Structure 1
Amino acid sequence: MPFSLQVLFYKTLMFFIGVAAKVIPQPKPTVYCGPDSALRLTNSMIQFGYKKVLIVTDRVLHEMGLLDPIKDKLASAGVEVTVYDGVEPNPTFSQVHEGLKLAKDNQCDSILTVGGGSPIDTAKIISLSAVPGAKAPEKFVGLFKARKAGLPLFAVPTTAGTGSEVSVGAVISDPVTHEKGVIADPKTVPTAAALDPNLMLGLPAPITAATGMDALTHAVEAYISKLATEATDSYAMASVKLIFGNLRECYSNGGNVDARESMAVASFYAAVAFNKAFLGYVHGIAHQFGGHYNTPHGLANAIVLPHILDYSKDACADRLAELAVAVDLGSSTESNSVLAQKFVDAVRELNNDLGIPKTLDALKSTDIPEIAKGALKESHFTYPVPKYMDQAQCEALIGKMVS
């Protein structure tokens, strides 16, 4: 089929996905924000009357003692706590099954997840699979596959990037095929979330950088999406402003509580935006990097973002120009093309200031055709991109990221 006809098909598909996105309600968690908000969230779980809580996290956070105040508060109220700390970056379905077994064996009635996007995504699928009669975790891959709500889920993000605490999806990897299983369903949204900057103060600078650029990618892709609306624009624009205003400070001065809180809010806003406007090619390619090389998702997004903006800018110059003006890169009297280029240049400059590499060391030229194929498959059937690319164009673009 000629590529022009393929593009017509993809645009038609995106139209119907857009209609569905408008009709299907978008739940939002109750949000606790500010220092010690994680403990306020924990107290609300106690007031709800939950008695057996599964905490889903990663081993580093657990061994650091970050969970101790939360565990102590639950224990003091007579709540039984089971901890699953086996989640790793780019979580796999085997990790979901390990956590699911603990939830079932201990008859957990709720889940509290503490960590970055990986623990939160893992907890989402454990939640859906833990209720009686639920599908196996792998069966949720795709759009709107959950027939009923999962176990009550509460989230405390420890990075300001993924927005998984409010997003309608999760990404789980298949370690054999390297494919990323994208699960999108409103039933994955937690009941409540805590944006607690105190839990982000010790985040290393490289992780602060990568997760912050992850949030920026979410906001920018939502803003240039063909499904963007006035509502999603307001959240995406606010997120971009907060990130440009606070990410460098968080990177150089990780103890700044106000800047950390602003980044947490920016991440949340970006996810609210992409819940309805969706994402784009940056994520399609970044997910492949994660599946093939276990590249941290935020780092992958940061490396890919400038390249996709270069490719797409002529098709969304007006949108990029609006972002440029919003973050004081120029005046609205300048042409859209000039402002769009200023914004792309500013993204590259931000990457450079944050120590983000321009290329991906793990990327092998021989893998590029397979990576491009996987990225296009995900993107063309999921994301309303402003400008489409074919296999050859995608391979050429990815090739620019080879060290």
Structure 2
Amino acid sequence: MESKIYKTYARTYQAILRQAVKLLDWKPPMLLRGEGMLEHLPKTLKARNYNKVLIVTDKGISNLGLMDTLLEGLKSQKIEYFIYDGTVPNPTDQNAIEAAEIYNVNNCDAIIGFGGGSPLDCAKGTAVMVEAEHKNLKQYHGLLKVRKKLPPVIAVPTTAGTGSEGTLAAVITDSGSRAKYAIMDPALVPEIAVLDASLTTGLPPEITAHTGMDAVSHVVEAYINRSNTKETRSMAEEAIRLLFENLPITYRNGRNKKARDNMQYAAYLAGRTFTRGYVGNIHAMAHQIGARYPVTHGEANAIIMPYTLEEYGAAVHSDLAGLADAAGISRDGEDDAEKAQKFIEHIRDLNKALGIRETMPEIEEDDIDEMIEYSYAEANPLYPVPVIFTREKFREMYMKVKNGPQSN
């Protein structure tokens, strides 16, 4: 009875929120897309009178020299820059606090997030902490908690997966508890997004695979959720087609710039899609796994996805059939259930082709109780998922991810 009452509450909450968010400003970023677009960014910044910028990145990006073109352009435009490269793979609240101190001390005008999803999310967290009167980033956890004007964020992704360059979300890891939490507010949507495929051609196959499947999970969860619009469904259908067509190509041949460009655009569309449609139980689990184990976020999503989609059953058959049609993997005469199963099998086949395993046996059973609580709290009542998972259902899913489908 308690479970039924809570589900009714959650669905009511989601229905009210679905109407309320229509009043928000959903303006997308200014999009600079195409090879060489990074060279145009400094002039765009100068035109907006940004004369001091903080670049938030990580040491890997710094060492690779991917920012050289940007730095030279900033110098030529007489834009002073400061670099914070302490971002860790799962950016922490401490990262954002440290970067914000650099921004404040130097009276910067804007923040450039340069790198994969971690630097982009860290840049957003930094924006929240700029001029904050406290050092508690977690107080902004949840939806619409920022409620203040932030410094402009410019997102320059060097992977094709997180879609953070087009979203209102930043995922941060709490330094103390190791748990991840999401901050979601339209104020976090970047002012400018730069999609320059030349920045991604050097990605190793494994990173290409994991980030690409992250984008797939964004499309899938947003599309099957209950908060879509006509526009987000259309973007999701285009994104899944681009992802299925181009991810295997970029995995095999990372130098294919056309495929890399398609992947970046697909990841951006996926981010735009889940900004309105949200993610769901897959991400609620992946966030906790990534906070505790050396598993990338994209890999965790990829492994969890087939198990969760099968668990949803008939509740997602129609939507998965729509994605199968959009991706061109269905056939005339198949019903929704057949198309949905084909879509799930395609995810499994794609994982296998990309070298992604089926299980995560390293999950410790002693950790599962705590992960369940965090997953349950993240998903409910916010995420408009097709099926609301109880704590016991989350336990079943964690055990399947650990041991395989035979686990109960």
Q: Could you say which TM-score interval applies, normalised by the shorter chain?
A: over 0.9
Deviations 1:291-330 (A, max 9, x none): 2225321111111111111111311101111111222222
Which residue of the partner structure matches residue 229 of structure 1? 229
Aligned partners of 2:77, 2:344: CA distance in 1, in Å?
51
1:191 maps to a residue whose letter is: E
1:144 maps to a residue whose letter is: L
Moved more, 123-132 or 71-80: 123-132
Deviations 1:141-176 (A, max 9, x none): 221122222112111001110110110110101132
1:341 maps to a residue whose letter is: Q
Aligned partners of 1:227, 1:332: CA distance in 2, in Å?
28
Q: SS at 2:357's partner residue?
A: coil
Aligned partners of 1:334, 1:39: CA distance in 2, in Å?
48
Structure 1 position 278, deviation (Å): 0.9
Counterparts of 1:145-294 in structure 2, within 5 Å, are 145-294=145-294
1:96 maps to a residue whose letter is: A
Asked if the contact 2:38–2:69 (Cα under 8 Å) also holds between the matched residues in 1, the reply is no
Question: Does residue 31 of the first structure (1) align with residue 56 of the second (2)?
Answer: no
Q: SS at 1:25's partner residue?
A: coil
Structure 1 position 216, deviation (Å): 0.5
Which residue of the partner structure matches residue 16 of structure 1? 16
Shift in CA distance, 148/344, structure 1 to aligned 2, threshold 3 Å: same
Moved more, 159-168 or 332-341: 332-341
Which residue of the partner structure matches residue 116 of structure 1? 116
1:354 maps to a residue whose letter is: L
Aligned partners of 1:99, 1:396: CA distance in 2, in Å?
40
Structure 1 position 225, deviation (Å): 0.6
Aligned partners of 2:381, 2:179: CA distance in 1, in Å?
15
Mark the runs of 5 or more structure 1 residues left unpaired by the alignment.
Answer: none
Which residue of the partner structure matches residue 354 of structure 1? 354
Asked if the contact 1:89–1:294 (Cα under 8 Å) also holds between the matched residues in 2, the reply is no
Percent identical pairs in the alignment equals 37
Asked if the contact 2:281–2:379 (Cα under 8 Å) also holds between the matched residues in 1, the reply is yes
2:64 maps to a residue whose letter is: M
Which residue of the partner structure matches residue 367 of structure 1? 367
Aligned partners of 1:136, 1:71: CA distance in 2, in Å?
32
Asked if the contact 2:161–2:214 (Cα under 8 Å) also holds between the matched residues in 1, the reply is yes
Counterparts of 1:41-190 in structure 2, within 5 Å, are 41-131=41-131, 136-190=136-190
Runs of 4+ in structure 1 off by over 3 angstroms are 131-136
Shift in CA distance, 60/361, structure 1 to aligned 2, threshold 3 Å: farther
Deviations 1:76-98 (A, max 9, x none): 22211100001011111111111
Structure 1 position 400, deviation (Å): 1.3
Q: SS at 2:154's partner residue?
A: strand
1:284 maps to a residue whose letter is: A
Moved more, 110-119 or 321-330: 321-330
Asked if the contact 1:36–1:196 (Cα under 8 Å) also holds between the matched residues in 2, the reply is yes
Asked if the contact 1:175–1:291 (Cα under 8 Å) also holds between the matched residues in 2, the reply is no
Aligned partners of 1:381, 1:295: CA distance in 2, in Å?
27
Asked if the contact 1:289–1:295 (Cα under 8 Å) also holds between the matched residues in 2, the reply is yes
Q: SS at 2:81's partner residue?
A: strand
Aligned partners of 2:288, 2:137: CA distance in 1, in Å?
20
Shift in CA distance, 313/43, structure 1 to aligned 2, threshold 3 Å: farther
Structure 1 position 131, deviation (Å): 4.1
Deviations 1:119-156 (A, max 9, x none): 11111121122247688533322211222221121110
Q: How many residues align?
A: 403
1:318 maps to a residue whose letter is: S
1:209 maps to a residue whose letter is: A
Question: Does residue 299 of the first structure (1) align with residue 289 of the second (2)?
Answer: no
Aligned partners of 2:240, 2:399: CA distance in 1, in Å?
28
Asked if the contact 2:43–2:77 (Cα under 8 Å) also holds between the matched residues in 1, the reply is no
Q: SS at 2:164's partner residue?
A: coil
Deviations 1:34-85 (A, max 9, x none): 1011221222012222111110001001111111111111012221110000
Aligned partners of 2:88, 2:153: CA distance in 1, in Å?
20
Asked if the contact 2:41–2:70 (Cα under 8 Å) also holds between the matched residues in 1, the reply is no
Structure 1 position 187, deviation (Å): 0.4
Asked if the contact 2:315–2:387 (Cα under 8 Å) also holds between the matched residues in 1, the reply is yes
Which residue of the partner structure matches residue 320 of structure 2? 320
Aligned partners of 1:147, 1:394: CA distance in 2, in Å?
32
1:27 maps to a residue whose letter is: K
Deviations 1:254-300 (A, max 9, x none): 00000000000000111111111111100100011122225321111
Aligned partners of 1:261, 1:38: CA distance in 2, in Å?
14
Structure 1 position 332, deviation (Å): 4.2
Mark the runs of 5 or more structure 2 residues left unpaired by the alignment.
Answer: 404-408
Asked if the contact 1:174–1:180 (Cα under 8 Å) also holds between the matched residues in 2, the reply is yes
CA RMSD of aligned residues (A): 1.5
Q: SS at 1:165's partner residue?
A: helix
Aligned partners of 1:116, 1:128: CA distance in 2, in Å?
19
Aligned partners of 2:192, 2:268: CA distance in 1, in Å?
12
